[in-house]
Amino acid sequence: MGRRMVVLGTYHALQGAKNRGANRNKNIDDPSYAVLIEHLIAEYSLECIFEEASECGPTTAQELANKHGLAYLDECARAPQGKKN
């Protein structure tokens, strides 16, 4: 079987980022998010997790990647300084 990619989009508030600064109190504590990530890891035999978490982790996905020995990368989508979108 070939390699696959699973894409899951969600709000930053649901990612469980521990270092969201002033926005930390706006995090949504939903245990079913972790259950979903666990299911995706098992169902698709994931090898790595890429996440756009604005470098505010650790996040729920990052903690689960560590737990399962998976590679993890927080890819920040912010534009470089001085560059306008």
| Degrees to nearest 5, angle at CA 83 with 78 and 61 | 10
pLDDT of residue 33: 96
Chunked in runs of 10, what are the mean pLDDT values of the chain (85 residues)?
Answer: 82 89 85 96 94 88 95 78 52
Instruction: Tell me, yes or no, whether 7 lies in a domain.
Output: no
Domain that holds residue 43: 12-74
pLDDT of residue 85: 44
How many structural domains comprise the chain?
Answer: 1
Instruction: Tell me, yes or no, whether 24 lies in a domain.
Output: yes
Summarize the chain as % helix, strand, coil (round to 5): 35, 10, 55
Q: Which two tokens stand for residue 44?
A: 């698709």
pTM listed for this prediction: 0.82
